Structure 1
Amino acid sequence: MTYAPTREDLTERIRLNHDSLSYRNGELFIEKLAVEDIAAEVSTPFYCYSASTIRNAFTLLADKLKPVHASVCFAVKANSNISILKLLADLGCGMDIVSGGELERALAAGVAPSKIVFSGVGKTRREIRRALEVGIHQLNVESPAELDSIREVARDLGCRAPVVFRVNPDVDAHTHAKISTGKKGDKFGINIELIEELYAKAAACTELDVAGLAVHIGSQLLNLSPYRAAYRRLASLVDQLRSRDLPVRSLDLGGGLGINYNFGVGPDVGEYAAIVKETVGGLHCELTVEPGRWLVGPAGLLVTEVLNLKEAGGTVLVIVDAAMNDLMRPALYNAVHPVLPLQDPGHRSAHPYQIVGPVCESSDVFGTYDALPPLQSGVRIAFGCAGAYGASMASTYNSRDLIAEVLVEADRFRVIRRRQTIQDLLELESATPWQKCRSETNATTAL
């Protein structure tokens, strides 16, 4: 059973921990707009983001990190909408990317290439070439083989590739197994015992500008102690490298700061900044952190409409027009998002509801909630804390539309990604003329 707080409880939580959501006379507002009014203009389901919440989150984190002069790069995979990227870039935020597509999104949003960090375990040579051609800040190296690819591409281009080595520190982040990235056996990073020799060999290569080290131990971290353990291992490695006269001028500390998915208090970013200062603040390195979810997660809603109700084995099912293809996290991670009625009369239903989507999968379930007001066909609700890993992970499974995204600022809103309809998708599948492979053509000629 997932607890859905009463309106009074939710109102208090929002008041204490959220700066853009509120209930006014029983109606849900985001900034100065009633969500119901937006839903009257934009067909459900759709994503809705608060600009002020994102700005305030970035400003808070940047201020806390000022004493250690750490820069912030947003993890683009959390929300890759170019309007969101531009909003953050205008505040001075850099970008942490994991694909060539995310590089193009960052550039389209006006991000300076010198503020882009390229992470990710499997960069293609084409992606590496493009990154070096535009002049990004650094490539985070994930393996000796990837280092060879970067070196060869840099040689072809006649440039020096700025690289840092992503260390796997073998630290358990105590998070979901599917988003843990810093334990031995995870696919990410290079075993910490192998770094010293690889670093030394790379530093001797004229095609490589070896700047330092990187680490990222996982996502949705609520307990900050794993950061301390990982950063201490990183600091020890810096001392080890410098003892061999190998320069280390840059440390990429990764991201992973979690959020409370029921509008409660999350990790203390002041405490996080103190851990950074305590562990690596005295190393005189350029420091970078790469939050994603923490910056945008609480800013987003997924707004949906109840289609109908049905009873199944004693459970009341609420079927909504949003589905697992729109918000994958419940199906993928057993995650639970809070439910906020757009119109809350104050009184509660006598029974819990299981909220499900229309996709033809038994995993298309958002959760079972008590303490919700009575629901019926046509009523609209919103899933909260949906600004991260929602739209960016969405698909067109069951040939469903990719839904719209909306940005709210004070008393105005705009659509920042239109709904991608089935007509749009069908156009991508227009058949081209039949072709023969060159090898087949040559074989036919030889006969």
Structure 2
Amino acid sequence: MTDPRPTALQSPERRELILRAAVREGLLDPEDALLAGFIDLDAVAATVDSLHRAFPDSVDVLHAFAAKANSLVPVLAELRTLGMGCEVAGPGELAQALAAGFDPERIVFDSPAKTRRELRQALDLGVAVNIDSWQELARIDELLADKAESGALEPRSRIGVRINPQVGGGSIGATSTATANSKFGIALADEGNAERLVAAFRERPWLTWLHCHVGSQGCTPDLMAEGVAAAAGLAQRINAELGRRQVVGLDIGGGLPVDFHSDLAGPGYDEYVERLRVHAPALFSGGFRVVTEFGRSVLAKSGFTAAYVEYTKTAGGRAIAITSAGVQVATRTVFAPESWPLRISAHDATGAAKRGEPVAQDIAGPACFAGDLVARARALPLLEPGDIVALLDTGAYYATTPFAYNSLLEPAVHGVRVASDGTVRFGLLRRAQTVEELLARTGGRPRRP
């Protein structure tokens, strides 16, 4: 079982070391760098290693990072060097994966709305494709017929079908993708669909994979494993009825939840593998290749977002700290705080942990609506202008996937490594957006003085 204790890579002391170094080097500055994201690349490497070690060597597995969780090209390139593939959900993420150096055969394309152009590009490159609907299957038929007329005998891509195992949802409806009415995949339990899927594979020898994804945050490892079991059972049925080993691989998705309440990582990959052994033993029989698509669990605990406190005030007896970190870097937390709570740590202007009696405070962002709060009535040492707050567990999504409300500028994101002697080294992953870039993006020109 997973050791539940936090490692040194998840410790408050390490975050403080990084934050203090960032202040010293001017990566955080009360005038010029009010907000920045940080990704601890040593912690990322440790997490990826734990993922690789969790699956036995007897299983031929490709761990494809879900690019939606952090699509910064240098981050994707780092994950590639750590032995991962990449799962993409649109043309932008595909372009980022290619720019990061992933070989097309180690890229998986998932989306419920793939266009003909996007499918044609994926098939030309040899990117793996998971078909999401009967109509998309018909579209693939047409594209492959066109390629056959040009002399292509068989597709270069691994092509599979995404099923919805309809095993139910987790505690967050928006991230549960295996409910009875989910928009994703072909609903396996709907009348006639299982038989129709068997027939589709019989008629198409190039269909060789099945894909399922139960959901992400809020879904338990057991629920996820039940979905995988449904896909494995269908694969075995197809192979048995066709009398040949046609389904050779299972893409089991990702979605392992993250513990946003402590420094603990949450359920570990080894714990999830044990649940897979219970619910879907066929996965370990040697009869199937495997692809995973973990995203948030790979990076969330390895990052934080830091912002200066600009002003403080009280209203109705409640202390409020106004910072530069709000909806633009914590979109889910602001709009759905019950589902996406964030831990906040308080620091003085040097980055050192702030001491003092905890006081209930709202931590507010800069956006022009009342709900722009990243924490409500949070007990922290009383914050003052010039202090720093850190939004923890934000290495996935958050600052790396900004929301352009109020035309707030995208912050810089820095990669971090810490040497054995405690020396902190930073590398720029994304530079801060400038006003000139914002104007160019929104069709304007800078006003000349």
TM-score, normalised relative to structure 1: 0.86
Aligned match of 2:96: 105
Alignment of 1:1-80 (within 5 A): 16-17=6-7, 19=9, 21-23=11-13, 28-30=16-18, 34-38=21-25, 39-40=27-28, 43-67=33-57, 68-80=59-71
Among 397, 405, 408, the alignment partner of 2:413 is 405
Cα contact 2:89–2:109 (8 A) shared by 1: yes
Q: What SS does the aligned partner of 1:80 have?
A: coil
* 1:334-376 per-position Cα deviation (integer Å, ceiling 9, x unaligned): 2111112234566333521110111012221111254422210
Aligned match of 1:6: none
Among 297, 305, 309, the alignment partner of 2:300 is 297
**Is 1:188 aligned with 2:184?**
yes
Alignment of 1:94-243 (within 5 A): 94-136=85-127, 138-158=128-148, 159=152, 160=155, 161-193=157-189, 194-205=193-204, 209-221=206-218, 223-243=220-240
C-alpha distance 306-295 of structure 1, shift in aligned 2 (>3 A): same
Cα contact 2:299–2:395 (8 A) shared by 1: yes
Cα contact 1:255–1:289 (8 A) shared by 2: yes
Bigger Cα displacement from structure 2, 284-293 vs 342-351: 342-351
Aligned match of 2:343: 338
Paired residue type of 1:104:
A
Deviation of 1:93 (Å): 0.2
Q: For the residues of structure 2 that align with 1:276 and 1:253, how far apart are their CA atoms? A: 10
Aligned match of 2:421: none
Q: For the residues of structure 2 that align with 1:417 and 1:275, how far apart are their CA atoms? A: 38
Deviation of 1:383 (Å): 0.4
C-alpha distance 77-425 of structure 1, shift in aligned 2 (>3 A): same
Aligned match of 2:309: 306
Q: Percent identity?
A: 28
Deviation of 1:428 (Å): 2.9
Q: For the residues of structure 2 that align with 1:218 and 1:273, how far apart are their CA atoms? A: 16
Among 280, 283, 288, the alignment partner of 1:285 is 288
Cα contact 1:222–1:267 (8 A) shared by 2: no
Aligned match of 1:445: none
Deviation of 1:233 (Å): 1.7
Instruction: Give the 4+ runs in structure 1 shifted more than 6 A.
Output: none
Aligned match of 1:426: 439
Q: For the residues of structure 2 that align with 1:50 and 1:146, how far apart are their CA atoms? A: 40
Deviation of 1:418 (Å): 1.0
* 1:247-304 per-position Cα deviation (integer Å, ceiling 9, x unaligned): 2101000000111112135103212112333412226100111110010001111110
TM-score, normalised relative to structure 2: 0.86
Cα contact 2:413–2:429 (8 A) shared by 1: yes
Alignment of 1:345-364 (within 5 A): 347-364=355-372
Q: What SS does the aligned partner of 1:351 have?
A: strand
Cα contact 1:20–1:30 (8 A) shared by 2: no
Cα contact 1:328–1:393 (8 A) shared by 2: no
Aligned match of 1:276: 276
* 1:128-158 per-position Cα deviation (integer Å, ceiling 9, x unaligned): 111112211x211110111112222233334
Q: What SS does the aligned partner of 2:206 have?
A: strand
Aligned match of 1:378: 386
Instruction: Indicate the RMSD between aligned Cα atoms, in angstroms.
Output: 2.4
Paired residue type of 1:226:
L
Aligned match of 1:83: 74
